[in-house]
Each structure stands twice: as C-alpha cells, then as structure tokens.
Amino acid sequence: MAADNLPVLIVGDVHGDLERLFEALKPYPPDQWHTVFVGDLVDYGMFGVGALRYARDRPNTNIVLGNHEVAMLWTLTEPERLGWYLSIGGQAHDRDEIKRDAELTVWLLEQPALLRLDDGTLVQHCGHDLYARWLDPDDPIESVNQKMSDLLMTGGEAEAWEVLSAKNVFAQQPHRLHEWLQATRCRRVVFGHTPHRNSKPEVYHDGLAINFDGGLSASHRKFARKSPITASVAPLDVLS
Ligand SMILES: [Mn+2]
C-alpha cells in the first residue's frame, strides 16, 4: 500500500509500452510518489504482463482494473476466447505468461475497480457511471469492488467487460458526473480508457473529471502516434 502523505502521480493506459512508461516515470522516483495506474496496462504493445509486474512491484503503487485486464483474465477461465482476445489487441505471449504465473493472476484478481484516494479523488478506468449498477449506498466503493471481484470469480467477465468498456460520458454530461460523485461521496474523478488528444491530461468541468488516457502506447491501435508522455502521466496536484 501507498505511504501516507506522498504526492499522487497518475499513470494513464500503458497498453504494453514499457519503454515509454519508464521514460514517463523517470522524473518520479517511486519512494517520493504515490503512483496510481488507471488500468489497461496490457494489450496492443508487447510488454503488457511486464507492465503489470512492474506496477505490482513498484513501491507505493496502486492500480485499478481496466477492460483489457478483464479480457486477459477471461482467456484463463474460457480458453476459447483467445481468438477474441487477440482480435482486441491481446498478445498471445502475454496470455501464456500470465497463465503460467498463478501468483500474478491472484494479485490481478484482487485489484479494485474503484479507488478512493485520501484527498477524496476517485480513480476508475472509464469515465462512465455504469459502475453504479453494482453500488450499495451504505459502502459505495467497497460494494462496487466486491461485485467486480465476485464477477471475475464466478464467470461474470462479460458484465465486468461491459462496465469497464463504457465510453467517456463525463466530458459531455456534467449532471451524470455530479450524480456519480455524489453517489460515491468523492470530490472529483480521474480515469483513462478513452484517448484524448491534448498534450496534458484533459480536464473537464473545472477539474471535477480528468482524463489521463493520452495514448501513451506507441502500439495503440487507433491512436498510434508519438503523443507527449505528459498527456498520460502527470502529478494530480498540478491539475486541481
Ligand atoms: Mn480501456
């Protein structure tokens, strides 16, 4: 778990590009930053499992699950989904690697869908309120995470995939954003999943929502370009 009182660094969708990830993290020593990945560390690029292992082993680091992590896990419970997994950018060697690594699989299954930071920031993979279908108002964050975990353990990957794949609606629909922040009792939300084209993370509605998917991976299928790494990796504080 992350040490208290460290400034927060948010890392957008890595999508298997370890080289650009390491370049992006150079100014941020792990002992001086609480590093938070918004999910989708795997697929498109060649080093998805490598990125997961790095995130797991980096001190003071958290991740939330993305739809591509769900897709990879799905091939373990339903091997016949391999073709589909490859069609969405999965790497066969990554799938083989995680299949051989029970420890990594167990770790990945334990990762949350939602993470509430000490300053009241909510971290999730996609900028959508579809997670609300799993939410119990008595314990909003934990109920969603429990449901996600249950789905992954009981063959519910299709529903997990559906929720984590929803497109960014917070940019265009501030009323839904407000309701979601109210329901989760958070003051703002950061997410990835839907690439933006800014040189910095895209800030919506006076900072209530921030999109950190700047298309970091040079192997991104739809947004393969040399995007600035500052579009995906940035300290949270400078954006508030
Ligand atoms: Mn995604």
CB 178 within 8 A of CB 199: no
Distance between Cα 91 and ligand 1 center (Å): 15
> Can you give the CATH number for the domain in which 86 is found?
3.60.21.10
Cα of 165 vs centre of ligand 1, distance in Å, is 6
Distance, in Å, from the CA atom of 239 to the CA atom of 171, rounded to the nearest integer, reads 16
* Distance from Cα 194 to the centre of ligand 1, integer Å: 7
50 occurs within a structural domain: yes
List, in order, residues 6 or more apart from 99 with CB less than 8 Å away: 76, 105
Residue 1 Cα to ligand 1 midpoint, Å, equals 24
The yes-or-no verdict on residue 198 having pLDDT over 80 is yes
Residue 1 resides in a domain: no
β 8-11/233-235 pair status: antiparallel
Q: Which domain holds residue 55?
A: 8-236
Most confident range, picked from 191-195, 219-223, 235-239 = 191-195
| Alpha carbon 167 to chain centroid, angstroms | 13
- How many A from CA of 161 to the centre of ligand 1? 10
Instruction: Give distance in angstroms: CA of 3 to centre of ligand 1.
Output: 27
Question: Does some domain include residue 221?
Answer: yes
Give the chain's end-to-end CA distance (angstroms, integer).
Answer: 24
Q: Is 78 among the domain residues?
A: yes
The angle at the Cα of 63, spanning 35 to 195, to the nearest 5 degrees, equals 90
Assessment of whether the complete model's pTM goes beyond 0.75: yes
Domain contains 3 = no
Residue 88 corresponds to which amino acid? I
The pLDDT of residue 83? 97
Domain count, the chain: 1
pLDDT at 239 over 70: no
18 within a domain of the structure (yes/no): yes
**2 located within any domain:** no
Tell me, in angstroms, the distance from the centre of ligand 1 to residue 159's CA: 15
Summarize the confidence of residues 40-69 as an average pLDDT. 98
Kindly report, residue by residue over 11-20, the tens digit of the pLDDT: 999 999 999 9
Mean pLDDT of 50-57: 98
Residue 207 neighbours by CB distance under 10 Å: 12
